[in-house]
Structure 1
Amino acid sequence: MQEREYEQEIDLREVFLLLKHNLIAIVATTLVSAIVGLMITMFLITPQYEASATMIVNTRQDQSATVTNDQITSAKNLVSTYSIIVRSDTVLMPVINNLKLSETYEELSKKVVVSAVDATQVMRISYQNPDPQYAKTVVQEITKVAPGVIQDMVEAGSVKVISEARVGTEPVSPSIKKNTAIAGILGMALIVAVVLIKELFNNTFKTSEDIQSRLGLTVLGVIPEID
């Protein structure tokens, strides 16, 4: 057991020394990869802007009476049902026709995201597009069409807009910092793998310690290299 632990310690030390010996190549490859990732993100990936609006789900039409906890819980559960309706062709096809969009229903449905806000009865509708005004217009039209369709299909409850469609001034994707970091990490992992694999298939002896550790032979003498 002690012998195996010693050999493992020696192997880890050799790996550390190997990486240290190739430190310049590792650092250079990491920096180049990060720069490539930065350039691709900035010049080859189209920025996406996100527009969103929030709507509140109620289980009944009449809001004059006191709202109970059971009704709030039911409304939270209805968010999942309403999100399916919002992304259905019953809602999105009128949106496409009203705005005369070039997107098909399948394309638009994949980009529209409906989610509950903090597990409440409020749902958030969001949509991303390279054109911020286009994204805002689509979300606005969804909030106009969806309430009537939901009430007709569910035949109970209501959906009301809390906040109108808004779009951020900065793109939500791609993330320059994230992509640059990922590219740098991938480059570093690649060069480390290349160095280790190259060393793994290198069966030559470089020092007298290699002979002792790998062959178990005692070195009697070393011929020095003289210029």
Structure 2
Amino acid sequence: MENEEYETIDLLEVLNAVRQHLAVLILCTLAAAIVGFAVSKFLMTPQYESSALMIVNTRQDTTANVTSDQINSATKLVSTYSIIIKSDTVLQQVINDLGLSLTYSELKDRVTVSAVDDTQVMKITVRSNNPEWARQVCDKITEVSPNVILEAVEAGSVKVISNASIATDPVSPNTMKNTALAGMVGLVLCLAVIFLQVMLDNKINTEEDVAKYLELTVVGVIPEYEGGKKK
């Protein structure tokens, strides 16, 4: 065990290697960022979302005063109503009414129903590469779902408080985010290659390597000249 040798990581050596390859490091980072930008901008299809808001009530008679218990009950009903909205009863009728060339499963994957800040308001969102298509489908869902919900639950009411609108900006891809992530990946990969080169380098290049690996004292260094200049 006394003769067992351990390879240690010389951080200074790694830093020196990074400094020597700084130009390559910057070029790799920029190249990866450019690739990420190009893929996001030209190869990925933009996706748009159209959303509508609906409010859930526990009773159909909305003229009477609403108590806090009724609001809490309506909040709990949002999760139940969201399941009904994404059911084939609602979405299949939407497909039939609009004449969509999608199956129920394909349309379901494009529809999201969620509660707004744990309130009795629920948000219906439809995603598509066509903003007008997303708006039409979202509007049709808000038109079809109230009757289906009332028939299934036999209590309460659902009303639209905000109609779907045409999205002007895509929600994905996020070009800036993808560009930054691609640049980070290029930077990390380049650093990993430099680190491996340092770890796998078993050559004696400097007088410090002689003292470190051979445990010998360096008496002197003979420089090599070529054409009158030191190599």
Q: Which amino acid aligns with 2:30?
A: L
For residues 88 and 215 of structure 1, the distance between their equivalents in structure 2, rounded to whole angstroms, comes to 75
Q: Which residue of 2 aligns with 1:186?
A: 185
Runs (5+) with no aligned partner, structure 1: 1-7
Q: Which amino acid aligns with 1:119?
A: D
For residues 153 and 189 of structure 2, the distance between their equivalents in structure 1, rounded to whole angstroms, comes to 55
With normalisation by structure 2, the TM-score equals 0.91
Q: Which residue of 1 aligns with 2:138?
A: 139
For residues 120 and 213 of structure 2, the distance between their equivalents in structure 1, rounded to whole angstroms, comes to 68
- Larger C-alpha radius of gyration, 1 or 2? 2
Listed one character per residue, the Cα deviations across residues 53-110 of structure 1 (whole Å, up to 9, x for unaligned) are: 0000111111122111111111111111111111111110000111111111111111
Q: Which residue of 1 aligns with 2:165?
A: 166
- Once the two structures are TM-superposed, the CA of residue 209 in structure 1 deviates from its matched residue by 1.3
* Percent sequence identity over aligned pairs: 54
The change in CA–CA distance for 1:202 and 1:9 in structure 2 (over 3 A counts) is closer
- Once the two structures are TM-superposed, the CA of residue 9 in structure 1 deviates from its matched residue by 10
Q: Which residue of 1 aligns with 2:60?
A: 61
The alignment partner of 2:10 has SS state of helix
Greater helix proportion: 1
For residues 181 and 130 of structure 2, the distance between their equivalents in structure 1, rounded to whole angstroms, comes to 27
For residues 114 and 122 of structure 1, the distance between their equivalents in structure 2, rounded to whole angstroms, comes to 11
- Once the two structures are TM-superposed, the CA of residue 27 in structure 1 deviates from its matched residue by 0.4
For residues 214 and 142 of structure 2, the distance between their equivalents in structure 1, rounded to whole angstroms, comes to 76
Q: How many residues are paired up?
A: 221
Q: Which amino acid aligns with 1:196?
A: F
The change in CA–CA distance for 1:162 and 1:111 in structure 2 (over 3 A counts) is same
Instruction: Report the RMSD for the aligned CA atoms in angstroms.
Output: 1.7
Q: Which residue of 2 aligns with 1:36?
A: 35
CA contact (8 A) 2:113 2:123 kept: yes
For residues 160 and 15 of structure 1, the distance between their equivalents in structure 2, rounded to whole angstroms, comes to 64
For residues 84 and 18 of structure 1, the distance between their equivalents in structure 2, rounded to whole angstroms, comes to 58
CA contact (8 A) 2:135 2:166 kept: yes
Runs (5+) with no aligned partner, structure 2: 1-6, 227-231
The change in CA–CA distance for 1:80 and 1:52 in structure 2 (over 3 A counts) is same
Q: Which residue of 2 aligns with 1:88?
A: 87
With normalisation by structure 1, the TM-score equals 0.92
